Amino acid sequence: MQSATRIELFLARKAIAFQTQGLLSAATLEAAVSAAGQSLSMVITGTVLIDSKGALMITHRLNGEVDLAAVYRLTGRQMQVLTERQVVRLFDDCDSGFLPPLGAAYDLPMLADSQMDDLPQAIFTSGSNGRLLVLEGRGLRLALAGARKGPLVKELALDVSTNQLTLDQIAARLQKLYRLPPMPALAFRILELTAKPEATAKQLAEVIELDPSMTAQLLRYARSALFGYRGQINSVQDAVARVLGFERVAHVAMGIAAVKSFDVPREGPLGVDQFWRHSLYCAFLSASLARRCGAESGMAYMCGLLHNFGLLLIGHLFPAEYARLSELRDAEPDASMQQLEQEIFGGADQAMMAVGHGTIGGVLHRLWNLPGPVIKAAAMHQCGEYSGEHQLYVNAVILANALLKDIGIGDEFVPDDTVALAAKLGLEQSDLDQARREIADVADDLDAVAAALS
């Protein structure tokens, strides 16, 4: 794919030499850079500000956030960030989310953050989601000639060891750094229906049947031996009324729709195939444990089903790092996922992702307005044990994962003290033994369902 027309003309007019790197279309600039094998520390971007006098662009490193107070100190102007809609209109030859950091090509005055002075080279979007441009240091200086310089950004770094940030604070930082996928429209419509006590099986079926592939997946799910129904199931409404029930169909359908937001490989220990297998087993066990400890089993099922979406989000944003994480998962079975994620993402470039896939998933679910227990179960399932809001659901998911480790399912392999975890739920050894028998009885059927949904 070609660069934005005005970027090409600008570089030609300035006689600035550059290299190009083509790549498969990516959802975000971060994913594009990662797929190209480049370091995020060399990536620069642009932020467009506006006030009553007009617009200007701040060019800065990707891992920084424009400090409006610093802009005021340098310019004496009280400015605000241009809205996404306004940016799209101004940069009409660019793909959405791929804003070139050379405002002069669009007749915008430019300011340059002084932290770029020591960059040996700069990587930035060409305006296309399929092409990166690389400038050596001299070329960057020529491109920014005439721009006023100063300390204009604050670092978007996170000291994950402090563990002090709330989900809302992490969400705000993640949204500034990355383009997080919105909840798919179909999943949103299903979520809306689940919030209406008067919603019917017919209404749910009508929404689901808008997606033929989802319809086929759900029918395969309902026809599986797991549910033991011997009659005919010819429609989603049959699946709801005769086999699964409204809540189970809604939760599984929402999971199917949401997974489609992520571009993640099917194969490998962290691929979509294993994701579905792990999620279905965890959902089944979480619901079973919830029934024993007085929690609502349908909500527990949803918590187990959706608790690992943070892994999909990491794979979607950082495919190269995700592939490395999968390799390490196989190579280092005695390490926890948190340790491996710190090893992969603990550097300055991507420190925000080192908070762990659980927290990242909780942030995503918060942005998608999912129920509180689902948010908390995703965010806290890597904690080992948890006390606080929605603790029955969170600890049901934690215990379910601990039991699944014993049979090699999931992304963690270091054994847990299941008796101690069970005690958090008021359960005893006999409850654990029964849960293990239940999962053994349905393992083949769950595997078949996972294959049908993958």
Q: Is residue 431 pLDDT above 90, yes or no?
A: yes
Count of alpha carbons within 13 angstroms of residue 227, beta-carbon side: 21
Average pLDDT, the chain: 86
Looking at the chain, the whole-number percentage of residues with pLDDT higher than 90 is 46
* Cα-Cα end-to-end distance for the chain: 31
- Which run of H or E residues covers position 424? helix 418-424
**pLDDT greater than 80 at residue 349:** no
Q: What is the pLDDT of residue 162?
A: 37
Euclidean distance between CA atoms 341 and 375, whole angstroms:
20
Q: Tell me the pLDDT tens digit for each residue of 130-185.
A: 788 899 989 999 999 999 999 998 755 444 443 445 666 677 677 666 777 888 88
Give the residue among 347, 340, 346, 420 at the shortest CA–CA distance from 382: 340
| Sole residue written with tokens 């509180």 | 372
pLDDT of residue 359: 87
- Report pLDDT for 348: 45
Q: What is the pLDDT of residue 338?
A: 83
Q: Are 333 and 315 in contact (CB under 8 A)?
A: no
* List of E strands, 163-232: none
Domain 5-155: give its CATH superfamily: YbaK/aminoacyl-tRNA synthetase-associated domain (3.90.960.10)
Query: Which helix (H) or strand (E) segment is 111 a member of?
Result: strand 110-113
pLDDT in tens, 63-108: 777 888 899 999 999 998 887 778 888 888 888 778 899 999 999 9
Question: In terms of pLDDT, which residue wins out, 119 or 164?
Answer: 119
Evaluate whether 186 touches 214 at the Cβ level (below 8 Å): yes
Residues 6+ apart with CB under 8 A from 426: 293
Q: In which residue ranges of the chain is CATH 3.90.960.10 found? A: 5-155
- Give the C-alpha distances (Å, rounded to integers) separating 68 from 99, 115, 143, 433: 19, 16, 23, 59
The fold adopted by the segment(s) 167-182+261-453 is Hypothetical protein af1432 (1.10.3210)
Predicted pLDDT of residue 159: 42
Tell whether the torsion through CA atoms of 220, 378, 344 and 348 is positive or negative.
Answer: positive
What is the distance between the alpha carbons of residues 416 and 384, in angstroms, rounded to a whole number? Answer: 8
Min mean pLDDT across 37-46, 157-166, 398-407 is at: 157-166
Q: What is the pLDDT of residue 350?
A: 55
**3-state class of 9 per DSSP?**
helix
pLDDT digits (tens, 9 = 90+) for 209-255: 999 999 999 999 888 888 888 888 999 999 998 888 999 999 999 99
CA distance 108 to 384: 52
Query: Highest-confidence range of 301-305, 338-342, 447-451, by mean pLDDT?
Result: 301-305
Max Cα separation, the chain?
77
CATH 1.10.3210.10 residue window(s) in the chain: 167-182+261-453
